[in-house]
Each structure stands twice: as C-alpha cells, then as structure tokens.
C-alpha cells in the first residue's frame, strides 16, 4: 500500500527502513522523503513504522503461556 503518494513510498519500504534502523519520522524523512511534501502521510507512516518496530503480540495459548514456567512438575509414570 502507498503511504506517501507525493514520494511514492510504500508500507514495504517503511518496514525495510525500520529493519535498517529507522525509528522516527525524521529518519523516514531523511531516508525516504516521507512527510517532506504535504505531510498528510505522517499519521499512516508513523503507524507503519510503529508496527514494524514493535513485534505483533502472540495469539492463542502459546502466546498466553509464553515465558511462564510451571510451579511444579508432573510425572506421568506409574509407581
């Protein structure tokens, strides 16, 4: 999807810039020209950058239980 029409910047380019170290709109402006013209793309560009920098939350039981260690162990062997 195009984020900045003035400079033909796509969401994919913003994600790539984030992978290369971009963390602010100023970084995107310097590397891609985002917000350099009319500035209407600022909110969308910021949202794309944030989603590229902050990993998506895990879903399902695996995500809910990630990092939790059991308080006790269960043995399924009969005695």
Question: Strands (DSSP E) along 1-79, which ranges?
Answer: 2-4, 9-10
Q: Where are the domains positioned within the chain? A: 2-56
Alpha carbon distances (Å) from 7 to 17, 19, 32, 62 = 15, 20, 8, 41
> Tokens for 20?
């290369």
Class of domain 2-56: mainly alpha
> Tokens for 63?
């995500």
Output the pTM of the full model: 0.67
For the chain, 79 residues long, give each residue's pLDDT as a single digit of tens: 999 999 999 999 999 999 999 999 999 999 999 999 999 999 999 999 999 988 666 555 555 555 565 566 655 666 5
């Amino acid at each position: 999807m195009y984020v900045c029409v003035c400079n033909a910047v796509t969401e994919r380019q913003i994600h790539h810039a984030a992978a290369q170290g971009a963390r602010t709109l100023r970084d995107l402006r310097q590397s891609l020209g985002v917000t350099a013209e009319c500035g209407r793309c600022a909110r969308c560009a910021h949202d794309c950058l944030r989603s590229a920098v902050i990993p998506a939350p895990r879903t399902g039981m695996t995500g809910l239980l990630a990092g939790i260690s059991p308080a006790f162990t269960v043995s399924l062997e009969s005695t």
